Structures are given as structure tokens and as C-alpha cells.
Structure 1
């Protein structure tokens, strides 16, 4: 365990921290847990992380992330590492290394009852059995971003889409599912209409589903009923992590205020900041969001 935070934690995120590799041999710290924990921290929550990585990364993680965010670290021989190549709005991704799988017994007992839990798999590192640690109960928000369950990789490490075979098992155990509309296009023959049909079907199995769609904004489904929320204008520099910032911002606002529609609008605003600077440097503060936030009509 790394440095403990003085206040009681209220936000747990689980998944691999990653190295996002650059052509010059350097890397940026990445991963859903990284972006989500930092966003939650800057928005006033007290986050914790359960992850897996190698000893070298774990030794410098407090300085790369924040010493104020406690981490339960499972030592692995490797840290998950990705190469992301963007061209014409599309990403080609390669997995160069993968850390070990995170098991249910890796979750500290003291963190199993926190009010907000976000499962953020990136490379199939979480199995459905992880849900056994978090039975649904009133007062807790159990959420997931399923992108890591929608990926496979070939012998060269290139990442390809794969169907989420455990969706029917996992969805009824969640309170919130947050994903990108683009994650579903490969399973819908590139058709937005067919992707919408998948979202509609999934939304009937989970109380809240939020689908982000870049410049098109986001769609919130409440018990299967959709509502659209426009995006905020932004000058895109680096889209990496924007969906994770959206997810954490949505959950933070939902936990603090209890209104899914307001939370979606807030998260759209927060995500607009995250694309305007590279990596984690774009994660906004509450004051920044408040200046740009538009009231819902």
C-alpha cells in the first residue's frame, strides 16, 4: 500500500495503470484508473486504486499520480503498455505488455464497502467474479467502463474489437454502465443505427447507461429511456482519457447530487477540458468546470 489519504476514501477504481508509449521511448501514465482517480480527486472525492504493475512503475507511481491517492498494488512482472496511433479521428492501438489479472481477493476488505466503485478494465484484467466483492446495495454506485472487455489482441499486439460475452451476466449487477458509442460500431457493421440498437438492449438491463459520442455529446438512458445531451466545444489536442474523465465526473456528480441528467451535462463539460491538453494535464478543477458549465434547458 502506498501513501494513505487522511480523509476516508469514497471512490474506488479497479484496473491496470498503463504506460502509453511515445515514439521517442518515453511514456505517459495512462489507464482508466489513472484518469478516473485523478478526476475524482480534483472534483473533491477521495479516490483509491487497485491495480497491477511492475516494481519500477509502482515505485514512481506516487510522483506520477499523486501521493494523496492510496494504491493497492499487485506486483507483476510487467506493466500494461499501449501504443496509440491517431489518424483522421480513428485510433489504432497496440498492446506491448500486459500486467497480471486482478482477482477478487486483491480488493482490500476496508475498500469493499465504498460508496462509488468504478471497474475500468483495459486488457481483460477483470473477470465477472470481481463483482462478487460488490453485491448491489442501496447507497452504493457500482459502475463499469467496459472497453477492456471489448478488446482482444493478436500475436503482433494489435488490438481488435471482440464481443462482450459476459454482458448478460454483468449488466444486471451494475448500477451504471458508461461507454463510447464508437466501441460498439465494430459489432454493428459500422452502422450507428445498429449500435444504437445494442445500446437500447443493454440499457434495459442496467438502471443507468451513458454512451459518449465525441462531438455529438452523450446519451443518457434511464431504465431504457434515452435523452441526448450536447457536447461542449473544445480544441482537441489529445483525446486519450477523455472517456475516463467523463466517467469519473459523471459518477462524482451523481454521488454528490443524485441527478443523472445534471451529472451527464457536468461530465460533458469536464471531458471537454480533458481533450485540450495532453494526458492527465487536461483534467479540470471544479472552478474550471463551473466557468464553462451551461445550465440544462
Structure 2
């Protein structure tokens, strides 16, 4: 989880782990989060367990939204999580979502959960910066070895994460069995064993797009575990992600009953 610097100088909790955990919880799952030490948001549920890595502080990001897309600045770095940071009882979880923000979940962790449905949102593996902080985040291509991609059951990223390079997603899909490339209001492309399928976006009035891809990823994993049907799971995830952008912050992430209605 992160600390996000707001335009007025205040800080808000953020990060993929936060949005994904709230989504899975609101869909009825028992959830645990392993993270650098961070503030817990006001609408966090006491039913979501958190294991903080004691030697790590949350990274600090600033997001600026422009007509050309999101521009990010890093104000404070973090560290690297290891399997030792994961409580032993959690290592047999049914679903594991690796959610790096700054490459803090090393690639070797894909082998640490052999019995899990393993998902990954690799945007944090694609971030780099130069010089002293604060510094603007730049894109860095992520080129993992094929055996890493083969172990990941579901890989989710946005076309913005890839700087528009759709061919990179196709490269991942040659080895990863399920790759979701999200496109905001334009929907998503789901690669199943390398074959692309278009997923329509659900209608929404966008107020805050932050975290929508993280919500999509968590919902996709939960529904895939429930049904085994990647296309149905992707449509389900698109519905939940659309609802999540209709208000500011993670409060708009819907509960299961609302989704079913």
C-alpha cells in the first residue's frame, strides 16, 4: 500500500493492494494483505488482515492527471518483500495477487505459492526514475523469462502501463495462459492462450479512475476462481471496475449484492 500525495498537500492511502483487497472483501472473500507499513483508510474493514513488513515504509506517490494521461512522481522509495514477510498460515491461500508498486515483489515469489491461482498486476515492474527524489516516474519495459510468465495464471495491466505497446501484451500472452489488457472506457482485451477476445466496458460516469485496474484484477481473480470461465469473469470484472470509478476513492467499490442487482 502507498501514501498518495494530494494537491492540497495532504496524504491519502492508496496502492494496488488497498483497492484489490477491498474489492475481494466486498465480493465475500477472506483477505490478507502483506505490505510495507502504511496508514489504514477510514473505510477499511476490520475483517481484512494486514501483515506489515516492519523494516519497510510505504512509498509516497503523487498522481497528476493530464489530457495525455496520468503523470506520476515518486517522493519516497520503499524496499523488497520476501516470503518471510508472509504469515505461514497465509502461504496456502487459494488466490494470491502479486501487486508490485516499485518491483517490491521479486519475480521469484511466483514459485512460492504452487497451489494458488496466482495473479499479478505488473505495473510496478515497469517503473523507473533517475536522480534524487522527488522524481518523475518513467516507463521501463518488463521482460521476465518465459518460466515466470508460465507460472502466473492471470496477468493484468493497462494499455497505459505499456505506453500503448500492445505488442508487449501479446508477447506476455505467448507464455502466460490468461492476460488482460485494460483500456478504460474502451473496454479490455482478454488473451486466452494467446487468442484475443474483446471485453466491452460497462457504462459509467467517471469521477475518479484511480484504482480501476486494480479493482478489475481482483474481481477477475475472484470470479475466475468461482466459475473457471475467463470470459464470464472478465465481464464481471468490467462491471465492478466501471462502478468503482463513479465516486472518489475506494468507497465506490461495490459489494456483492450491488453487483448482482
Q: Smaller-chain TM-score range?
A: over 0.9
Distance 1:124 1:77 in 2: 14
Instruction: Name the structure 2 match of 1:232.
Output: 202
Q: Does the 8 A contact of 1:273 with 1:283 survive in 2? A: yes
SS in 2 for 1:209: strand
1:62 to 1:31, Cα distance in 2 relative to 1, 3 A: closer
Instruction: Name the structure 2 match of 1:133.
Output: 112
Shifted more, 259-268 versus 121-130: the winner is 121-130
1:167 to 1:238, Cα distance in 2 relative to 1, 3 A: farther
More helix by share: 1
Q: TM-score, normalised by structure 1?
A: 0.83
Instruction: Name the structure 1 match of 2:158.
Output: 180
The counterpart of 2:45, out of the listed 66, 74, 88, is 66
Distance 1:286 1:105 in 2: 33
1:181 Cα deviation from its structure 2 partner: 1.6
1:51 Cα deviation from its structure 2 partner: 0.6
1:180 Cα deviation from its structure 2 partner: 0.6
Instruction: Name the structure 2 match of 1:3.
Output: none
- Residues 45-84 of structure 1: matches in 2 within 5 Å? 45-53=29-37, 57=39, 61=40, 63=42, 65-76=44-55, 78-84=57-63
Instruction: Name the structure 2 match of 1:295.
Output: none
Distance 1:90 1:226 in 2: 25
1:284 to 1:89, Cα distance in 2 relative to 1, 3 A: farther
Instruction: Name the structure 2 match of 1:162.
Output: 140
Distance 2:197 2:208 in 1: 27
Q: Does the 8 A contact of 2:110 with 2:118 survive in 1? A: no
- Residues 280-291 of structure 1: matches in 2 within 5 Å? 280-291=250-261
Distance 2:181 2:137 in 1: 21
Distance 1:39 1:205 in 2: 27
Q: TM-score, normalised by structure 2?
A: 0.93
Instruction: Name the structure 2 match of 1:40.
Output: 24
Number of residue pairs the alignment of both structures matches: 259
Shifted more, 104-113 versus 232-241: the winner is 104-113
Instruction: Name the structure 1 match of 2:118.
Output: 142
Cα RMSD (Å) of the superposition? Answer: 1.7
1:89 Cα deviation from its structure 2 partner: 5.2
SS in 2 for 1:228: strand
1:167 Cα deviation from its structure 2 partner: 5.0
Structure 2 unaligned residues grouped into runs of 5+: none
Structure 1 unaligned residues grouped into runs of 5+: 1-16, 292-297
1:23 to 1:224, Cα distance in 2 relative to 1, 3 A: same
